[in-house]
Chains A and B, each alone.
Chain A
Amino acid sequence: MSKSKRFPYVLTKQAVLSDDALPFFPLKLSRGTATAEVLGLADSGATINVLPYQVGLELGGVWEDQLRMSRLGGNLGSYESRGLIVMAQIDDFEPMKLAFAWTEANDIPVILGQTNFFSLFDVCFMKQDNEFELKLRI
């Protein structure tokens, strides 16, 4: 199992210049037998992890059964969100639990923020090299 891994910055469809590439990385989310393969954004400015509505549904989340969350900051403040615990497999790191604010919004990426993604990984952004590194803390 890895302790650290480098990933390239990714150009999204909306990106105009190569400088607009962002630190996205692939991860496999699962709850029971339900799985979803997504690109997650390592977002050090985000207080929490955020899961788009559709991905939560793919993972078998039942909206009414999940804990209602406090209102989120930023543009997501206009959407309701629920707490959802999910297993995440990133590259060949050991699988880990991520806690998400599962939002009603769909037009957002999977966001990996301070709670609890950045509690599990040290993240080093090397923009000049268009790379970032995830280093497991535990």
Chain B
Amino acid sequence: MVNTNQIHNQQFTIEKVMNYIEVLPTLKTLNHKDKIRVIHFLVNEVAREEEVYFEEGKTYEIYSPYESFEAAEQLRQLLKENEGVNV
């Protein structure tokens, strides 16, 4: 079993001396949970490298009203009631 610290330490080594092909066999030995941790780690690393300003654990506001299906039906009904009515 490989814990997260080991993965991080290996990542340092990967950056220095290993390439993608060499690291694959090691990644394959990880259990499911640790593979997820590696994915999260890499996503954060790539985001940092590309200066994407989303940080792990921070809350970002999303004002898009997702899945407001009842409200959508209300608006469709309202439009129907206002057909032919000047606004």
Contact = CB atoms under 8 A, between A and B. Distances in A.
Contacts, number: 93
B53 A97 contact: no
B9 interface: no
A87 B53 contact: no
Contacts of B70: 70
Interface in A41-88: 43, 45-50, 67, 69-76, 81, 83, 85-87
A97 B25 CA distance: 59
Given A75-B61, A115-B75, A70 B87 contact: no
- Interface range for A: 35 or more
A101 B62 CA distance: 16
B20 interface: no
Given A17-B51, A72-B68, A73-B68, A48 B63 contact: no
Interface string B46-87: 000001010000000111111111111011101100100101
A85 B87 contact: yes
A99 interface: yes
- Interface range for B: 20 to 34
A85 B79 contact: yes
A130 interface: no
Residue of B68, B70, B71 ringed by the most chain A CB atoms within 10 A: B68
Interface of A: 16-17, 30-32, 43, 45-50, 67, 69-76, 81, 83, 85-87, 97, 99-101, 105, 108-109, 111, 113-116
